Amino acid sequence: MQQGCDISPRSLSGRIVGGVWWFFTLIIISSYTANLAAFLTVERMVSPIESAEDLAKQTEIAYGTLEAGSTKEFFRRSKIAVFEKMWTYMKSAEPSVFVRTTEEGMIRVRKSKGKYAYLLESTMNEYIEQRKPCDTMKVGGNLDSKGYGIATPKGSALRNPVNLAVLKLNEQGLLDKLKNKWWYDKGECGSGGGDSKDKTSALSLSNVAGVFYILIGGLGLAMLVALIEFCYKSRSESKRMKRFSLPPALKHTQNQRKISNHSSGFNVTISQHA
């Protein structure tokens, strides 16, 4: 089935509007189709590790943590069987799976090509995940729950005001807003939080802003051409009217000539008799 229009634009401005509109429609439909195809066929990162239990059960992927930090102490002191097994592996692994800094751990993850997993605090993990080169991903949930605090000298008068201020910020939801602002809104790998790996980027207005600029520019050009056509046609009509219209004096002279010719055409000749 086909559908068309019986009326096609004849003026240049109308053709410009029609051409720009069809170009705009073509780009929008093509962009939507491409994004839909990407959404249906996207190859997501598939990790063989989904939890700490998966790490403990296998030996192909090495895993470690910061050499001196709370994460290492968590595994060393844990009485949970899975974490004890992981600690036994980490302290006896050769070469050592511990790193001196988080930067060193991330470099090791990137160079290992999927053969090394770095265990670190979720807050730092989510922050790094949202920074370029966007080639790392958070796997599984949190192993435990910890809180951050602001240290003050013992007996300091600042302790209670700081506690109240932090509690107030937490109740108002400002702490979550600040985290979203600096972790995700200002992230370099797309928004969406810690599970952004499971999301496909949407076709936003910024992605197709260019075609809207073309549409607006085309409409502006069409309006300019239409104005020029109108002025040109008005001037042509004015010249044509002047060409076929005579001045009043010339009209009066022409009318007199017509009357004279009309009178001479009706002269009567009378014969004279002697």
Q: Could you give all domains of the chain from N- to C-terminal order, each with its CATH number?
A: 51-139 (3.40.190.10)
Task: Answer for the pair 94, 45: CB distance below 8 angstroms, yes or no.
Answer: no
Q: Is 70 assigned to a binding site?
A: yes
Residues 6 or more apart whose Cβ sits within 8 Å of residue 56: 82, 85, 86, 89
Check residue 199 and give its pLDDT: 47
Q: Tens of pLDDT along the chain (274 residues)?
A: 455 566 667 777 778 888 888 888 888 888 778 777 776 665 555 567 888 889 899 889 999 999 988 899 999 999 999 999 999 999 999 889 999 999 999 999 999 988 999 999 888 898 898 888 888 888 888 888 877 788 899 989 999 999 999 999 989 999 889 988 888 888 888 654 444 444 455 666 776 777 788 888 888 888 888 888 888 888 888 877 877 665 555 555 555 555 444 444 444 344 444 3
Which candidate, 210, 214, 202, 212, places its Cα nearest to that of 34?
Answer: 202
Q: Is 104 assigned to a binding site?
A: no
Q: Does the pTM exceed 0.75? A: no
Q: Is 33 assigned to a binding site?
A: no
Residues 6 or more apart whose Cβ sits within 8 Å of residue 110: 135, 136
Check residue 89 and give its pLDDT: 94
Return the H-helix or E-strand segment holding 118.
Answer: strand 116-119
